Amino acid sequence: MNAEKPRPPYAKYAFSNPYNYALLSGVGAAAAMTGNWWLAIAGAGLEAIWMLFAPDSRLLRKAWFDKRFEEEQAQARKLEMDEKAKSLPKPEWVRWCAIVQKQEQINQLARQNPTFTVELLSGELKKLDDLVGAFLDLSVTCSRYEDYLGSIAVDEIERDLRRYQNLLEHETGEKRTLAQKNVVVLTKRKGKYVEIHANLSSARGQLELIENTFRLLADQIVTMRSPQELSGQRRFARRRGKPSTCCNPPSRGRSPAPAPG
């Protein structure tokens, strides 16, 4: 189930802003300097009326509060993406930077196209953020896959598998039972290695698709006649650019489950 979309804290925005602080401090200072505490009472009354009606004002939400919320959300996403990018190896980080630069180039080219209105343009360009986010998630996933695959000694698994299979043919009793259990576990480990390797290959292909899509958009956007053309290219890559969630390798520092005794 998808998480609920966060709701802007309208009451917080109505109270916590420089204009409201200036009004409160001004009324408070005037009341203190003149000794007329009716000014403080009047100011408190105005503040109460403001806090009662301002958070629910559609005009304020559209012109002020919603824009502030979008800016805060964008900043939070940027910080989160920057933290993820820091965990990437140098080659993956370079590819990530190239995608971000290509997005900036697309934004600039789109603004220079006279057929795009500001409203349609801003809506479609914001959707490119989904692709940029998918690229970063895929890069982190690929890095995790490669680290985990690099920690697995496949030759050792195959050597142990042959050894236990040989024991199965020559041993009896408890030794044969244990050998059979180890064969099952080692066979599963070998299968998971193959599966993770296949997922890595698929994720690499998805990364290349997103890169090529961004290059194509930069090539085509100069002659595009409608933002819907931009949306079509974006949806094509987005459907194929989702990180794979199957067969995720264990986190670092987590050892594989021991063979059943």
Residue 259 pLDDT greater than 60, yes or no: no
Residues 110 and 171 in one domain: yes
Q: Is 1 within the bounds of a domain?
A: no
Residues 165 and 43 in one domain: no
Residues 122 and 241 in one domain: yes
- Interval 31-86: pLDDT, tens: 888 888 888 899 899 999 999 999 999 999 999 989 999 889 888 888 888 888 88
Arithmetic mean of pLDDT, 151-165: 91
Residue 258 pLDDT greater than 50, yes or no: no
Q: Are 99 and 210 in contact (CB under 8 A)?
A: yes
Q: Is 2 within the bounds of a domain?
A: no
Q: How many domains does the chain have?
A: 2
Other beta carbons within 10 angstroms of residue 49's beta carbon come to 10
- Residue 118 has what pLDDT? 55
Q: What does the chain come to in residues?
A: 261
Residues 62 and 32 in one domain: yes
Provide the CA 39 distance to its chain's centre, in angstroms.
50
- Interval 87-103: pLDDT, tens: 899 999 999 999 999 98
In angstroms, rounded to a whole number, what is the distance separating the alpha carbons of residues 47 and 111?
42
Residues 257 and 173 in one domain: yes
Of the ranges 2-6, 32-36, 109-113, 236-240, which one carries the lowest mean pLDDT score? 236-240
Arithmetic mean of pLDDT, 139-157: 91
Residue 249 is part of which domain span? 87-261
pTM of the model: 0.65
Arithmetic mean of pLDDT, 165-183: 89
- Residue 156 has what pLDDT? 93
Q: Is 241 within the bounds of a domain?
A: yes
Residue 206 pLDDT greater than 60, yes or no: yes
- Interval 106-139: pLDDT, tens: 888 877 776 665 555 666 677 788 889 999 999 9
Residues 39 and 127 in one domain: no
Residues 58 and 114 in one domain: no
Q: Is 79 within the bounds of a domain?
A: no
